Structure 1
Amino acid sequence: MTDGARKVLVVANHPGIVYAFRRVLRGTSGFTLVGYVAGHSTITAVLADALPDVVIVDDLGAPSDAVKRIAEVHSELPAAKVVLLVPNTGLEWLEDAVCAGAHAVMSKTIDPTSAGTLLREIVRGTVFHCLADPSIRAGRTAPENGSTHQSLGLTQRELELLRLVASGATNSRLARQLFVTEQTVKFHLSNIYRKLGVANRTQASRFAYAHGLVPTALTPEADEAVENVVARAA
């Protein structure tokens, strides 16, 4: 802690990432940026010198490098929170990152204001790591059935919501997992119901399973079981 603020280290090859988080942290109380380092080689010496409380690791354009840097942080500073920054949360290698020690995954498309709030909750241990597709969160790689959902006029975001609804997620849980308001969730759900020709979430869930939009291996019980799989409240 430095003057009551948690120390943040950014691991990124692109200076734009560092600049973005400098702006985010300026507007987020309780954090201070102590430095940044390129991630193409080992960062053990930097970790020992800076002793950060939070380490933000960019995907580095090379998943293997990102996973190695995460493992180094976990080994050198097991109490530090590690946040992986990625272009999207549907990448197959994210499970490797979590196993290496990542506490959470943050999309680069997140609103800067929300990023600060999310970072604070990650440090508090109140945020679960959550991937875009429940099949990936469960450690499975199910087919996307792209042609089916596209023929129905569903966007990828709507398909994502539909799968979560089919797993038994409530609107409040959807809002928390996707980092949006419940009003936004309701807006998307109304569009989904209209496109599927159904009246409510129960009918939408049945439609999803009947038309192969949700992997059959994913039941509500299974989805609930993996809700905590990457929770790391140290």
Structure 2
Amino acid sequence: MIRVVIADDHPLLREGLRRILEFEDGIQVVCEVGDGQGAINIARNHKFDVLLMDLNMPGVNGVEACRVIRREHPEIGILVLTVDDSDDKVFQVLQLGVAGYLLKDVDPQTLVDSIHKVLSGEPILSPAVTGKLLGQLSHPQPNKENFGLSERELEILMHVVKGASNKEIGQALFISEKTVKNHLSSIFRKLEVEDRTQAALKAIKLKLVDLE
């Protein structure tokens, strides 16, 4: 059972999300809160798996709440669900290591699928957000410093930036998912990051891959 907490300052939206998720086997909404401080308090006092987090909330906003919860409870998967797709906010939140970033126009089935994906460690980005990340790579000059990454690791990193899952990477490169996972562990260690989202962001910032 995936235990979910909803953090949003709009009661009608919280109710709508709860109704959607209540019909899904294997998902349980354990609590709803209306601001970032409420989300922090729930994380400190209850055990759950996934936090659906809005960003623009009164008092402690979602960004600050993400920062605190990621620091104190890194085992909780934070799935941002917001209307804010500004470049600054996208990069600011993804750099905190959240599990995914979805816009509120997402369809219900995609939301449900994304909650399941949080636990498997797959990157979850709305198409608009993925476009912003890839837009940062338009005509880049590859960095001469590759942090010791092998050619194969750079190939895998390129697919990570594109949002591919381990299975999709394995199929594209004709290697097993286990081999992909082993390479990812090496990539994370060399780039000094904790997960694939942070690896993708660092690859973009340092222009380690060329998608042209």
Class of the TM-score when normalised by the shorter of the 2 chains = 0.5 to 0.7
**Cα distance in 2 for residues equivalent to 1:127 and 1:135:** 14
TM-score, normalised by the number of residues in structure 1: 0.55
Equivalent pair of 2:97/2:198 in contact (CA under 8 Å): no
Task: Confirm or deny that 1:216 pairs with 2:139.
Answer: yes
Q: 1:23 to 1:42 in 2, by over 3 A?
A: closer
Task: Confirm or deny that 1:102 pairs with 2:69.
Answer: no
Equivalent pair of 2:78/2:100 in contact (CA under 8 Å): yes
Equivalent pair of 1:74/1:101 in contact (CA under 8 Å): yes
Residue number in structure 1 paired with 2:88: 92
- Which of residues 60, 63, 68 in structure 2 aligns to 1:67? 63
Equivalent pair of 1:54/1:81 in contact (CA under 8 Å): yes
Q: Which of 1 and 2 has greater Rg?
A: 1
Equivalences, count? 154
Equivalent pair of 1:13/1:38 in contact (CA under 8 Å): yes
Q: 1:134 to 1:21 in 2, by over 3 A?
A: closer
- Which of residues 49, 73, 78 in structure 2 aligns to 1:77? 73
Q: 1:70 to 1:133 in 2, by over 3 A?
A: closer
Amino acid at match of 2:139: T
The equivalences for 1:54-203 within 5 A come to 54-60=50-56, 65-87=61-83, 89=85, 91-129=87-125, 132=128, 136-137=132-133, 140=136
Unaligned runs of 5+ in 1: 141-166, 168-214
- Which of residues 46, 64, 78 in structure 2 aligns to 1:50? 46
Q: CA deviation at 1:119?
A: 1.6
Q: CA deviation at 1:79?
A: 0.7
Give the 3-state SS of the residue equivalent to 1:109 in structure 2.
coil
Residue number in structure 2 paired with 1:188: none
TM-score, normalised by the number of residues in structure 2: 0.60
**Cα distance in 2 for residues equivalent to 1:134 and 1:45:** 31
Q: CA deviation at 1:138?
A: 5.2
Give the 3-state SS of the residue equivalent to 1:78 in structure 2.
coil
Amino acid at match of 1:226: V
- Which of residues 29, 36, 59 in structure 1 aligns to 2:32? 36
Give the 3-state SS of the residue equivalent to 1:93 in structure 2.
helix
- Identical columns (%): 16
**Cα distance in 1 for residues equivalent to 2:135 and 2:71:** 23
Q: CA deviation at 1:78?
A: 0.8
Residue number in structure 1 paired with 2:5: 9
- Which of residues 140, 161, 166 in structure 2 aligns to 1:226? 161
Amino acid at match of 1:227: K
Tell me how large the CA RMSD over aligned residues is.
3.3
Q: 1:216 to 1:54 in 2, by over 3 A?
A: same
